[in-house]
């Protein structure tokens, strides 16, 4: 689990965003209050002060204009000198005005009545002071309280989720093959692991224990099955081969023996494939350095009885060769299924296995497949020709599963009535100079003809 996406970081980001949103709302509110203070309250105060002065002036023509700490008034009477009026106020029109700090910084109200002009001036610094003491200072106090509460809540939330984070970190460090189950024993848990986290830890321990038992059972099964299944099949195969070598057998008996021998070979291949696929992760088979041409030759020899008396040539086209570090049995099972599948569905023509610098290609001139059939070719127990008795319909499914397990991509090309070509790519292949082949493996058909 990365720090950028961890639960603790997400909680921290959530509290940061929450504090930022509250701060923004508070600042916006104070700014709005300051604007109201300046443009509404002060304007209203000036208006009411002007109205009060006009009443006083009507009652007493000698009434003095307001002159307080915050407010200064001026009265301009026609015929009298205006030298006492500041220059920046003389040319103002009737209404409200806001002077810049260079002009004195003030809010000004100008009213005319009966030829007289009243000018009231409210000091800007007083407005700013009011805004500061009644806006900024409370805002700062509110934000400090908000930040303290947010930090305290974050610390409490962090302590609440820390057992979950500890449990996630522990499980992340587990080796899937050998999980540290003992770390989840109640006596090994931190003291703050309680409630739902304790239930989760207990459930994970039970689950890991169950998985370990299943893995052990699978390992024991594959080990025992590897011996117990291969031995009787090998006995049947050897006995059948001895019967096939007996010259006193009638043609009918020999045909039945050959069918038994073919079924036994199919059984050996299936058992080998199933045991490989049944193992979790590692196959349990030691890798070795293989030469592709040697493995292919061996599988071709095993497959020759499959073509029998059919007019089908079985050959190897060695265009290049390569070495591969892998289990011989795994490679043999994969190639065996492809070659056997080609032999089953080819009644006449050729089955050619071509080796390039990093690919093994199995090509046949058999019945081929349509685009729809090709899309289903890897489905278990599916056959392109259900009328045929050869095979069990799971060979290509096994090939696909092996290719995904070991990273050897398989690609098929096929045209109905013209044949099929299977490509197996080996990314780890090390190119080798092709060696000379014995005469029986020379290609008797044109292996370079395109499919379709």
**Does 228 lie in the same domain as 100?**
no
- Across the chain, mean pLDDT equals 79
**At 393, is the pLDDT very low, low, confident or very high (cuts 50, 70, 90)?**
low
Establish if 155 belongs to a structural domain.
no
More confident residue, 180 or 430: 430
Establish if 272 belongs to a structural domain.
yes
Residue 121 has pLDDT above 90, yes or no: no
Asked whether 220 and 212 are in contact (CB, 8 A), the reply is no
CA distance 46 to 3: 60
**Does 87 lie in the same domain as 59?**
yes
Over range 102-109, report the average pLDDT: 78
Which residue range forms the structural domain that includes residue 56? 3-132
Establish if 152 belongs to a structural domain.
no
**Does 54 lie in the same domain as 198?**
no
| CB burial of residue 360 (10 Å; 0-12, 13-18, 19+) | buried
Of 253, 284, 315, the residue at which a domain comes to its end is 284
Longest dimension (CA), the chain: 153
Residue 390 has pLDDT above 60, yes or no: no
Residue 177 has pLDDT above 80, yes or no: no
Establish if 210 belongs to a structural domain.
yes
Query: What pLDDT score does 394 carry?
Result: 76
| CB burial of residue 282 (10 Å; 0-12, 13-18, 19+) | exposed
| CB burial of residue 187 (10 Å; 0-12, 13-18, 19+) | exposed
Domains contained in the chain, number: 3
**At 451, is the pLDDT very low, low, confident or very high (cuts 50, 70, 90)?**
very low
Nearest to 278 by CA among 326, 359, 215, 210: 215
**Does 90 lie in the same domain as 12?**
yes
Asked whether 14 and 161 are in contact (CB, 8 A), the reply is no
Establish if 334 belongs to a structural domain.
yes
Instruction: Give the β-pairing of 312-318 and 349-355.
Output: parallel
Query: What pLDDT score does 281 carry?
Result: 55
Residue 410 has pLDDT above 90, yes or no: yes
Establish if 296 belongs to a structural domain.
yes
Percent of the chain with pLDDT over 70: 81
**Does 390 lie in the same domain as 431?**
yes
3-state secondary structure of 325: strand
Establish if 162 belongs to a structural domain.
no
From the DSSP assignment, how many helices (H) and strands (E) are in the chain?
11, 12
More confident residue, 65 or 127: 65
Establish if 222 belongs to a structural domain.
yes
Model pTM score: 0.51
More confident residue, 327 or 187: 327
Percent of the chain with pLDDT over 90: 16
**At 205, is the pLDDT very low, low, confident or very high (cuts 50, 70, 90)?**
confident
**At 108, is the pLDDT very low, low, confident or very high (cuts 50, 70, 90)?**
confident
**Does 295 lie in the same domain as 244?**
no
Nearest to 115 by CA among 57, 165, 201, 35: 57
Residue 445 has pLDDT above 50, yes or no: no
**Does 378 lie in the same domain as 303?**
yes
* Structure-block tokens of residue 116: 């007289």
Residue 348 has pLDDT above 60, yes or no: yes
Residue environment code for 250-260, b if the CB has 16+ CB neighbours within 10 A, otherwise e: eeeeeeebeeb
More confident residue, 347 or 248: 347
Asked whether 422 and 361 are in contact (CB, 8 A), the reply is yes
* Structure confidence by residue, pLDDT tens digits, 16-66: 887 788 878 777 777 776 666 666 777 888 889 899 989 988 888 888 888
Query: What pLDDT score does 448 carry?
Result: 42
Query: What pLDDT score does 421 carry?
Result: 95
Of 249, 284, 319, the residue at which a domain comes to its end is 284
CA distance 386 to 267: 20
Query: What pLDDT score does 452 carry?
Result: 41
Over range 223-232, report the average pLDDT: 70
**Does 120 lie in the same domain as 222?**
no
Of 102, 132, 162, the residue at which a domain comes to its end is 132
| CB burial of residue 443 (10 Å; 0-12, 13-18, 19+) | middle
* Structure confidence by residue, pLDDT tens digits, 232-287: 877 887 888 888 777 777 888 877 887 787 777 777 777 777 777 776 555 556 67
Query: What pLDDT score does 387 carry?
Result: 55
**At 192, is the pLDDT very low, low, confident or very high (cuts 50, 70, 90)?**
low
Query: What pLDDT score does 330 carry?
Result: 85
**Does 91 lie in the same domain as 24?**
yes
Task: Kindly report the CATH number assigned to the domain that includes residue 346.
Answer: 3.30.565.10
* Structure confidence by residue, pLDDT tens digits, 133-173: 766 777 778 788 888 888 888 777 777 777 777 777 777 77
More confident residue, 221 or 324: 324
Other beta carbons within 10 Å of 186: 10
Over range 407-413, report the average pLDDT: 93
């Amino acid at each position: 689990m990365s720090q950028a996406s961890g639960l603790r970081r997400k909680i921290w980001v959530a509290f940061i965003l929450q504090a930022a949103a509250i701060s923004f709302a508070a600042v916006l509110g104070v700014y709005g209050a300051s604007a109201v203070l300046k443009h509404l309250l002060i304007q209203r105060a000036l208006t009411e002060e002007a109205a009060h002065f006009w009443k006083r002036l009507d009652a007493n023509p000698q009434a003095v204009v307001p002159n307080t700490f915050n407010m200064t008034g001026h009265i301009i009477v026609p015929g009298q000198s205006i030298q006492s009026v500041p220059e920046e106020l003389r040319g103002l029109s009737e209404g409200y005005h806001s002077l810049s700090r260079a002009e004195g910084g003030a809010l000004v109200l100008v009213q005319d009545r009966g030829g007289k002009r009243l000018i009231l001036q409210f000091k800007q610094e007083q407005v700013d002071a009011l805004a500061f003491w009644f806006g900024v200072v409370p805002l700062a106090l509110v934000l400090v309280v908000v930040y303290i509460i947010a930090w305290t809540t974050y610390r409490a939330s962090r302590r609440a989720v820390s057992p979950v984070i500890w449990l996630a970190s522990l499980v992340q460090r587990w080796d899937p093959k050998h999980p540290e189950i003992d770390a989840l024993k109640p006596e090994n848990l931190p003291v703050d692991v309680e409630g739902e986290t304790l239930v989760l830890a207990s459930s994970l321990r039970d689950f890991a224990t169950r998985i370990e038992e299943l893995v052990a059972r699978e390992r024991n099964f594959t080990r025992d099955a590897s011996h117990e299944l291969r031995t009787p099949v090998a006995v049947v195969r050897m006995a059948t081969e001895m019967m096939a070598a007996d010259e006193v057998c009638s043609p009918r008996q020999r045909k039945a023996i050959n069918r038994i021998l073919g079924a036994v070979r199919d059984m050996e291949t299936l058992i080998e494939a199933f045991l490989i696929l049944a193992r979790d992760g590692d196959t349990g088979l030691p890798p070795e350095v293989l030469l592709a041409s040697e493995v292919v030759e061996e599988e071709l020899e095993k497959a020759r009885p499959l073509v029998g008396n059919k007019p089908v040539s079985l050959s190897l086209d060695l265009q290049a060769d390569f070495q591969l570090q892998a289990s011989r049995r795994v490679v043999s099972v994969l190639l065996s299924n492809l070659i056997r599948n080609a032999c089953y569905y080819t009644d006449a023509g050729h089955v050619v296995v071509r080796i390039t610098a990093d690919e093994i290609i199995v090509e046949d001139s058999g019945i081929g497949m349509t685009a729809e059939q090709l899309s289903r070719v890897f489905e278990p127990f599916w056959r392109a020709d259900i009328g045929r008795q050869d095979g069990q319909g799971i060979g290509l499914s096994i090939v696909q599963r092996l290719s995904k397990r070991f990273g050897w991509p398989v690609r098929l090309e096929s045209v109905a009535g013209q044949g099929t070509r299977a490509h197996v790519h080996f990314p780890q292949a090390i190119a080798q100079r092709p060696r000379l082949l014995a005469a029986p493996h020379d290609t008797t058909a044109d292996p370079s003809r395109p499919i379709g």
